[in-house]
Structure 1
Amino acid sequence: MLMPDPKDVRTLLSRYAAARLAHAEKETRKTATQLGDVSYTLCVATATTEINDALAVADRILAQPSPVARSRP
């Protein structure tokens, strides 16, 4: 599996959190669509089919040392 860039994963997680908050505050068709869209994108980026699995994979991706940190002596 190709690994998504951690920056992209952080961006998706941020968008997901914002969409969840917006939808929790006021459920509308727009907030539901935004939440669905970012959930789908996060699943695609992490090669999963369920949002909980996508969040777990995203956490593992972000927990890995960055390539810059690995290359330092």
Structure 2
Amino acid sequence: MIDWPNCEFVDRDPARMSGAWLFRGTRVPVRSLFENLEDGATIDQYLEWFPGVTRRQAEGVLEHAAASLSLPART
């Protein structure tokens, strides 16, 4: 499981967007990045479609998700 609370590029507020994880300072759900990439979009296309998200945020989220794959499993 990805440890989103420790990712500096996202935040979450139960009163905003149904409590979804959002790119910090935006109303753009983090999930949208993964969905668009899965559908074949490039990061450049994603950033064009969601101008509130910065390249550093998108890359930081991807790096955070990738790093979580090497964490030991919680028991």
Shorter-chain TM range is 0.3 to 0.5
* Structure with higher helix content: 1
The TM-score normalised by the length of structure 1 is 0.32
The TM-score normalised by the length of structure 2 is 0.31
* Structure with higher strand content: 2
